[in-house]
Amino acid sequence: MTQARTTPSVEEQAINPLREGLRLERTAPPCAMVIFGGGGDLAKRKLMPALYQLALNRLLPAEFTVLGFARSPLSDEEFRRTMRAAVGEFSRTQPLREPVWDSFSQGLFYLSGNLDDPQAYQRIAARLDELDRTRGTCGNRLFYLATPPSAFPVIVQRLGEAGLTQGPQPQSWVRIVIEKPFGRDLKTAIELNHTVRSVFQERQVYRIDHYLGKETVQNLLAFRFSNGLWEPVWNRQYIDHVQITVAESVGIENRASYYEEAGALRDMVQSHMFQLLALVAMEPPVSFEADTVRDEKVKVLRAIRPIPEDRFHDFTVRGQYGAGWIGGREAPAYRDEPGVARDSPRETYAALKLFIDNWRWADTPFYLRHGKRLPKRVTEVAIQFKRAPHLLFAESGGEQLEPNLLLVRIQPDEGISLRFAAKVPGPTMHLRSVHMDFLYGSAFLVDAPDAYERLLLDCMLGDATLFTRNDEAEQAWAYVTRLLEGWERATPDFPNYEAGAWGPEEADRFLERDGRRWRVP
């Protein structure tokens, strides 16, 4: 008897070409993208340049349409002129290709209103219906929340009240993109997820973390799971420890109101760095599909060993920068930045030692560090292997050799480097550490796409692999919230490192107690 086939859902149809791990480059379907906060910094610096680049690469259909929504009263033409200036300044492809922009800009429209006004959402609905008729967007809608996080709940609720969570046609789709942060602790993350899930289905929700759109971050998956060389040694038997560094030379850049609420742990560690940790430590998924990949990431977060309340000092370090010098320029202390309280206890540096209690990683430390006003901007994952069990060449410099190191550089100079021992040319057996380097720029001779290009296209294609699921966000917050609560029980002695230094001295002692040291990028 022949088994009946059920008709796949719209989401399944969108993902179907990605089966068996194949990610096919294809044009997005017709759709209308509503950008809440359409006149803001994110839209100008990231979203519109990324959309223009997709159009330039012929990955957007002619019907693609943007409806910007914000409080400022603008006409469609004024909105187009504003976005043209933004793309002209921030696009990675210069100069602007006028024929491409002229065609792309015909699909840019604008609507003004207040985010909490129910009538504004009725106007959005009417405008979208009109664009379906005039632009052929087929009832497909992508709502992008490029607003402060405090506005997320009200936007979601108003969309639900206006009946905008479902498309006007049975085959049309509706999705919503939410920028990080997804809450500011476990309680608010759960509340936000509850609000979103009360209006949208989880498969419609795309929680975006732009780090996962970076080429080198994605290459962690390709590097690990498409090469037979690494999997046999990717475990506690061969790896001594892992260091994940996200260093920034800049300060808070006029974001005092945000940073005074967030701090380094909330701003970077809970999101970007935990994502990197999960990609390094996860088990191989059964396929390269959204839920199978995210299932493995959640398992990693659940396996992170809790820190005992009386041992926070052994597993965490926090810091705040004082005045100093970076690149020959004087840098003010954090507490002297505009808008920062003179006695602010907010950390601008955080270092953690984590253990993942599972079969692969038992007792292998993962060291994470992030800080503002450090000597240079760099993001990297350093995987240090254990030393050879027996030194045959101790008299030839073998004892001074550094252990093998696999370095994944995420920014700048994206690439992968392997450090190993080699004989120095000459009549004697003298060893030295050397590096084997792979650089994206020189290997492929093309510019790496901006993270938002990849992620926006994935949203339109219905591929959620590189987006954060609700349980993933909550699990990361569950761990970080415990750290925040532990820190609140003690008054920090700030500032404790100079701008231009690699963090507090305690961070160095932090690793020295384990017989290790931080890698100098």
Q: Which tens digit of pLDDT belongs to each residue from 192-244? A: 999 999 999 999 999 998 888 887 788 888 889 988 888 899 999 999 999 99
Q: What is the pLDDT at residue 398?
A: 52
Given a contact cutoff of 8 angstroms between Cβ atoms, the answer to whether 246 and 273 are in contact is yes
CA distance readout (Å), 234 to 218, 231, 280, 297, 361: 18, 5, 9, 16, 9
Q: What is the pLDDT at residue 432?
A: 74
Q: Which comes out higher in pLDDT, residue 101 or 422?
A: 101
Peptide bond into 181 cis (omega under 30): yes
pLDDT at residue 24 greater than cutoff 90: no
Q: What is the pLDDT at residue 339?
A: 92
Q: Is 241 a residue of the active site?
A: no
Q: Which tens digit of pLDDT belongs to each residue from 64-97? A: 999 999 999 999 999 999 999 999 999 988 888 9
Q: Which tens digit of pLDDT belongs to each residue from 455-498? A: 999 999 999 988 999 999 999 999 999 999 989 888 889 999 99
Contacts of 308 (CB under 8 A, 6+ apart): none
Residue % of the chain over a pLDDT of 90: 66
Least confident of 119-128, 269-278, 416-425: 416-425
pLDDT at residue 16 greater than cutoff 60: no
Contacts of 122 (CB under 8 A, 6+ apart): 162
Q: For the residues 132-140, what does the mean pLDDT come to?
A: 94
Q: What is the pLDDT at residue 402?
A: 84
The dihedral sign for the CA sequence 311, 315, 320, 324: positive
pLDDT class of 21 with cuts at 50, 70, 90:
very low
Q: How many CB atoms are located within 10 Å of the residue 82 CB?
A: 20
Q: For the residues 147-164, what does the mean pLDDT come to?
A: 94
The DSSP code for 269 is: I
pLDDT at residue 387 greater than cutoff 50: yes
Closest CA to 260 of 358, 362, 341: 341
Q: Given 272, 313, 390, 430, which residue is catalytic?
A: 272
pLDDT class of 400 with cuts at 50, 70, 90:
low
Domain ranges of the chain: 31-179, 216-393+407-414+435-442+468-512
Instruction: Say whether 393 sits in a helix, a strand or coil.
Output: coil
Identify the CATH class of 31-179.
Answer: alpha beta
Task: Write the Ramachandran bin of 334: left for phi over 0, alpha for psi from -120 to 50, otherwise beta.
Answer: alpha
Q: What is the pLDDT at residue 13?
A: 42
DSSP-assigned states of every residue in 507-520: HHHHHHTTT-----
The dihedral sign for the CA sequence 281, 285, 289, 295: negative
Q: Which tens digit of pLDDT belongs to each residue from 305-325? A: 999 888 888 999 999 999 999
Identify the CATH class of 216-393+407-414+435-442+468-512.
Answer: alpha beta
Q: Which comes out higher in pLDDT, residue 22 or 452?
A: 452
Instruction: Say whether 246 sits in a helix, a strand or coil.
Output: strand
pLDDT at residue 172 greater than cutoff 70: yes
Average pLDDT of the chain? 88
pLDDT class of 399 with cuts at 50, 70, 90:
low
Rounded CA separation 186/188 (Å): 6
Prediction pTM value: 0.88
